Every structure is written in structure tokens, then in C-alpha cells.
Chains A and B, each alone.
Chain A
């Protein structure tokens, strides 16, 4: 009994302390070092934050370069799959165009009516935010965070919490800012919670990421029913996001309400970060 306990102790000791012929450090020293680094990073000291930000910038750049073969193969695959689906898409678009032509007459009428009503209430229409365009340099999934890294940071005026758009649709918000890079937390991440409003009846809800491609709608009013054209917009109730940014279309999926995002977070190459502060446009 005592011998087996001794063997166990010896095996553990040699695993922790023994260095092989080509090992420069023992496991014990490196485990201690990892714990020290972890503690320093979590206590949020300013010099550590600056150092971490510099490391992030450097690693993201290297990562963007090393990921280029993967990106190239992905782009080639997309090119071929797009090429083969062009014919199908053309037929579909023709049918859609016919539908839109019919709808156009109605839209023109509504637009004119809307403009005249806006004039009546002296509504100052502001359609454009002040944004900065940036490229996605790193897109790696993990069980912990569903996020992407872009090539603009505090040098371009980006701040924590700023909304990020793709083709005018919301895709996430800034959660990490370095000098030349930033991280966007995507809407489908588990940690993402955004107050939204559902048109046309104006129901309020929280758009909550689930780790899957379609985020969930939570805290909906009782007896809420999905219609054919329930569009989802930001409500601006959190005081961080502007109201009225388009997000997606509400759909029902196996008894739960989800949102099919207008911009698929997995198919994005460029994004626009909204630089305006919420307070700047509060009147809007």
C-alpha cells in the first residue's frame, strides 16, 4: 500500500518537476507563471491593460496573415458555389422582380403620404450615421465567444459598446478596443442581449444570442403571434443603441420565436462601426 502511494507521489513529482532533454522549463514553473498572468489580467491594472492591448494588436495582425490560406480556400469554395447557383437565383429574382413591380405602386403612394405626414410633425429625418468602414481580419468560433476582429481600433475613434452594421443592418457591438483592432460581439453570441421592437404591432422584446445562427426573442408579450412580415428593429431602450436599426425578420422555430438576421454573421467581410454617440442623436 505504502509502495503504491510512493510510486504515485514519484510519478506526480517527476511529471511536475522533471525536465526532458529538450525541455527548458518544468511544468510546475509554467503552471505557476500561467496563474500569475491570469491573476494580473483579471485584476484589470492599467499597465497590464495597455500591454494586453499591444499584444492583441500584434497577434491579430499575425493571425490575419496566417489565416490567408484558409480565407483563400473559403473564397474559392464560395466562388464556385455562387457560380453554380447563379441560374437558379436568376429565375428566382425574375419572379421576385415581378412581385416588387406590383408592390412599387403601393410603396410610392405610401412614401408620398409618409413624407407629407413628416412635414406636418416637423420630423427631421436623418438617415445616415457617422460610421467607419473596417475589414474583418479574424473570424474564429469558440465555445466561449462568437466574435470577430476588425482592423480599426481607438485610432479610428472606436469606443466600447458602439453598434456595428453590415449593409445597414445590425450585426453586433464592440466589446474590446485596441489601438489598431477591435472585437465585435455578434448578435448570435450567448452573451449578446439587445432590446428590440417588432413591427408592425410594436411589441417589445429582448434579442438574445443562443450560439446558433438565429438569436432568440425573449420577454415577448403574452399571446404573441408571428405574422408574415414581422420585422425586428432596435428599440434603443438600453440607452446604448439607436432606435430603428434593422436587425432581421421574426420567425417561429419549433415553438420558440427566433430572428433570421438580415446580415448573416458568418458571411461578412466588411462592417460599419457607428461612431455617433447615442446622446448626439437622442433628438432623432
Chain B
């Protein structure tokens, strides 16, 4: 019985990053604070990039794809845009994982720029080319900037959580 409960607990702990990703996509969780005019960031990108890079078994590509579709429905974007962007971010993370032997905060942080760049370029291009939605470039720039700036903070938090899961699993 104790083993079953322990196994269940481990599963729950390992599901939390995925749950967080879905919760941010589907709920009213705000990361766009326009009353401060410029402060907004893309937490989904941070979660996807970190976990695909550091522990890909926790968030599957299939779930990232579904989270992207849900995000499109909630934000009223054409279906598939966010899914494609999230998968591109995952691709950059997977490439960095394969290409580097030892990753650190510095390498993760600077390679994250490539992920943000590719992700947001894809967003702009598809929205601009295939929809009537007008985009304020400044907002997108600030969002990219703050997503980049805040990455180390979330990296630290996720590292602590990753260690916590590993301790729980090893016990």
C-alpha cells in the first residue's frame, strides 16, 4: 500500500510542470500586465524550453502540441499557430540538448534567445500574413525581452523543483 501511495505521489510531482503549462494556457492566468504598459512575458515558452532541455520525459511533445491548440482557442488565434511555435521552441531545446555535453544556466539562457527569436518570428509572420489581426511590435518586443530577462529566475525555481523530484524519486 505504501509503495502504491509513493508511486502515486511521484507521478503527481512529475506531472506538475505539465499541469502548470496547461493551467496557464487554459485559465485566466495573466502574464500580460498592460497597466504597467510594458511588462509582459511568455511563461509557456519558459516552461517548455526549460523542461524539454533539462528533463524531456516530464513534458511530452504531444502535450506541448495540445497545449498550443488550447492556447490558440483561448486567445482566438488560428488553430495551430501556438502549437507550431511551442514545437519550434521544443526543437531548439532538443537541438541544444543533443549538441551540448554539459549545460549550465549561461548556455541555457543564451540559447533561449534563439528559441524566442524563432518562436516570435513564426508568430508574427503567420499572424501578419494569414490573419487580419493587427500587432503592436513594441508589445511583442517587450514580451520577448522580459521573457528572456526572467528566464534565470524561473530556471532557478525549476532547478530546485527538479532536485526535489529527484530526491523524492530516489527515496
A interface list, Cβ under 8 A from B: 7-8, 10-12, 14-16, 18, 20-27, 30-31, 33-42, 52, 55-56, 59-60, 62-63, 66-67, 70-71, 138-145, 147, 175-176, 183, 190-191, 211-213, 266
Please state if B136 and A38 are interface contacts (CB–CB under 8 Å). Answer: no
Known A-B contacts: A37-B69, A145-B76. Give 13 more (CB < 8 A): A8-B99, A14-B94, A18-B98, A41-B79, A55-B79, A59-B74, A63-B27, A138-B28, A143-B143, A145-B75, A175-B76, A190-B136, A213-B34
Interface residue from B27, B127, B130 paired with A67 (Cβ < 8 Å): B27
The dominant DSSP class at the B interface is helix
The dominant DSSP class at the A interface is helix
Looking at the assembled complex, report how far the CB atom of A184 sits from the nearest CB atom of chain B, in whole angstroms.
Answer: 11
Chain A residue with minimal CB distance to B37?
A212
Interface residue from A12, A34, A40, A144 paired with B65 (Cβ < 8 Å): A34
B interface list, Cβ under 8 A from A: 23, 26-30, 32, 34-35, 37, 40, 56-57, 60-62, 64-65, 68-70, 73-81, 83-84, 87-88, 90-91, 94-95, 97-99, 126-127, 130-136, 139-140, 143
Complex CA distance for A137 and B23, rounded to whole angstroms = 16
Complex CA distance for A211 and B138, rounded to whole angstroms = 11
Q: With A25-B62, A38-B81 known to touch, is A190 a contact of B135 (CB < 8 Å)?
A: yes
Please state if A15 and B94 are interface contacts (CB–CB under 8 Å). Answer: yes
- For A190, the chain B residues whose CB sits under 8 A away are 134-136
Chain A residue with minimal CB distance to B33?
A141
Query: How many inter-chain contacts with C-beta < 8 Å in the A-B complex?
Result: 154
- For A26, the chain B residues whose CB sits under 8 A away are 61
Please state if A27 and B73 are interface contacts (CB–CB under 8 Å). Answer: no
- For A16, the chain B residues whose CB sits under 8 A away are 91, 94
- For B78, the chain A residues whose CB sits under 8 A away are 38, 41-42
Looking at the assembled complex, report how far the CB atom of B28 sits from the nearest CB atom of chain A, in whole angstroms.
Answer: 4
Complex CA distance for A183 and B34, rounded to whole angstroms = 20
Please state if A15 and B95 are interface contacts (CB–CB under 8 Å). Answer: yes
Q: With A30-B62, A34-B87, A38-B84 known to touch, is A140 a contact of B57 (CB < 8 Å)?
A: no
Complex CA distance for A37 and B35, rounded to whole angstroms = 34
Interface residue from B32, B90, B134 paired with A27 (Cβ < 8 Å): B90
Complex CA distance for A95 and B111, rounded to whole angstroms = 60
